[in-house]
Chain A
Amino acid sequence: MNQEIDIQDRPKYINPYFGGVLLGLVLLITFYITGRGLGASGAVKSAVVTTVDKVAPDHAEQNTYMKAFITDDHSPMFNWLVFESFGIFIGGLLSGALFGRIKKLRIEKSPSITNKTRLFAAGIGGILFGIGSQFGRGCSSGAALSGTASSSFGGLLVMLLMFGTGYLVAYFFRKLWI
């Protein structure tokens, strides 16, 4: 592939350190205003509980894990993290529109694998992330980022182990990416 063209096609991302400072300030403001950090997987949890509660209310009521999130006065979707996650989506739209990255539906993958493989891996990855985030009390934003920023030992633990495991297994899945 031609290097010149590659450089011209390179998506315009902001300087990562600048992005980091911005993200740090967003996190700091979040702590200042709400007293807690950011999160993302909690919204999906609310969605799961809502769906199960709609489809099979008795079943949701019996489940010891979901029961805790069901109240009579409002839907589990009426939750801080759900609104925040919706904001993440809008923020992504804004930035994508600003930098011209919103294009037709597409799959991003290494040229050496098929679309099917990529989607399969993404699905499995999602499932694992879903299970892991429940055990870990949060995902990379809730536990690793916000947890570590608030000096939580658990947050540091999740961050180190998550990336550490990533490095350990990365070799076996290199075909997916390079």
Chain B
Amino acid sequence: MNKNYIILMGILILLAAGLLVLPLKNNSKQLDPEVLMWDIVQPTRYVSTDEVAKMIIEHDPLLVMVDVRSAEDFQLFSLTNAINFPLDSLALDDAKSALTFNKRNMVFYSNDDLKSDQAWVIAKRLGLKNIYVLKGGLNRWIQTIIQPEAPAETASEAEFNLYAFRQGASQYFTGGSISIDQSPQAEIVVSRKKKAKAAEGGC
């Protein structure tokens, strides 16, 4: 027998055996911790209640509001067209595919911004993009949008403008004196995107 063949076969066996001794690989592609740390300290992930209110009123097609509170809380009160995705379900395997909205901006919110911040970190580690957190959560939402406080007499014009906007928004969301026809909250059904379909084969 040719010696070269013995060497070649040896290489083949070594390669195959190498597969067994390779350390278990980390299957889920998660974000590098350093990159994550950098992103966490950036304040850019926060969006203010005013910005969100504006986007909702303008029916921004790219906006997806994600309520990370429990389903019961979601039933009681939620923002227009928000979808419910409780924090614990983010740990599930299909969370990533369920939350992958093509190039849409996802804004997490909870009562304050603690839970939504956690959700943001998890989502970030899952590799999701275009995700944000509603600064101050629903509490701030109520304070600023639903029951806006009138600025002091001495306040700047910008503040008055903001107040005017908030009053309008308040009326929009609470259905106050300016009656805007608001159909019962339309629900976005969380369409769980199927895993990218494996290519068809055939002979």
The reply to whether A and B meet directly (CB within 8 Å) is yes
Q: Is the CB of A37 within 8 A of B201?
A: yes
Chain B hits for A34, CB < 8 A: 199
Chain B interface: which size bin? under 10
Chain A's closest residue to B199 (CB) is: A35
Smallest Cβ distance from A146 to chain B, in angstroms?
A: 7
Per the 8 Å Cβ criterion, residues 137-157 of A in contact with B are 137-139, 141-143, 146
List the A side residues contacting B200 at CB < 8 Å.
36
Query: Would you give the shortest CB distance from A168 to chain B, in whole angstroms?
Result: 23
A39 touches B198 (CB 8 A): no
Mask of B189-203 contacts with A, CB within 8 angstroms, 1/0:
000000000111111
Cβ contact within 8 Å between A138 and B203: yes
Cα A40 to Cα B200 in complex, Å, equals 14
In angstroms, how far is the closest chain A Cβ from the Cβ of B181? 42
Closest to A138 in B: B203
Whether A141 and B203, one on each chain, are in contact in the complex, defined by CB atoms closer than 8 angstroms, is yes
Q: How far is the CB of A145 from chain B (nearest CB, A)?
A: 9
B117–chain A nearest beta-carbon distance, Å: 38
The answer on a CB contact under 8 Å between A39 and B8 is: no
Main secondary structure of the interface of B (DSSP, over half): loop
Q: Is B5 on the interface with A (CB-CB < 8 A)?
A: yes
Please name all residues of chain A whose beta carbon is closer than 8 Å to the beta carbon of B198 when the two chains form the complex: 35-36
Identify whether the interface residues of A are mostly helix, strand, loop, or mixed: helix
A143 close to B203 (CB less than 8 A):
yes
Whether A39 contacts B5 by the Cβ 8 Å rule is no
Q: Closest Cβ of chain A: how far from B197's Cβ, in Å? A: 10
The answer to whether B203 and A36 have CB atoms under 8 Å apart is no
In the complex, how many residues of chain A place their beta carbon closer than 8 angstroms to a beta carbon of chain B? 18
Complex CA gap A40/B201 in Å reads 11
Would B203 and A133 count as touching, CB distance under 8 A? yes
Question: Which chain A residues border B201 with CB–CB below 8 Å?
Answer: 36-37, 39, 138, 142, 146
Closest chain-A Cβ to B20's Cβ sits at a distance in Å of 15
Interface string of B159-202 (1 = CB under 8 A from A): 00000000000000000000000000000000000000011111
Q: Would A137 and B203 be within 8 Å (CB), given that A17-B5, A17-B8 are in contact?
A: yes
Residue pair B202, A81 in contact (C-beta under 8 Å): yes
The smallest C-beta distance from A43 to any residue of chain B, in angstroms, reads 9
| Distance in angstroms between the alpha carbons of A118 and B63 in the assembled complex | 70
Q: Closest residue to A41 on the B side, CB-wise? A: B203
Q: Does A42 reach chain B (CB closer than 8 Å)? A: yes
In the complex, what residues of B have CB within 8 A of residue A146's CB?
201, 203
* A153 to B201 CA separation, bound complex (whole angstroms): 15
A40 to B202, CA, bound (A): 8
Closest B-chain residue to A139, C-beta based?
A: B203
How does the 8 Å CB contact mask read for A2-42 relative to B, with 1 for contact and 0 for none? 00000000000000010000000000000000111101111
5 contacts between A and B (CB under 8 A): A36-B200, A42-B203, A81-B203, A138-B203, A142-B201
Query: Contact residues of A with B, CB < 8 Å?
Result: 17, 34-37, 39-42, 81, 133, 137-139, 141-143, 146
6 closest Cβ pairs, A-B complex: A142-B203, A138-B203, A35-B199, A39-B203, A36-B201, A36-B199
List 11 additional A-B contacts (Cβ < 8 Å) besides A41-B203, A81-B203, A141-B203: A17-B8, A35-B198, A36-B199, A39-B201, A40-B203, A81-B202, A133-B203, A137-B202, A138-B202, A138-B203, A139-B203
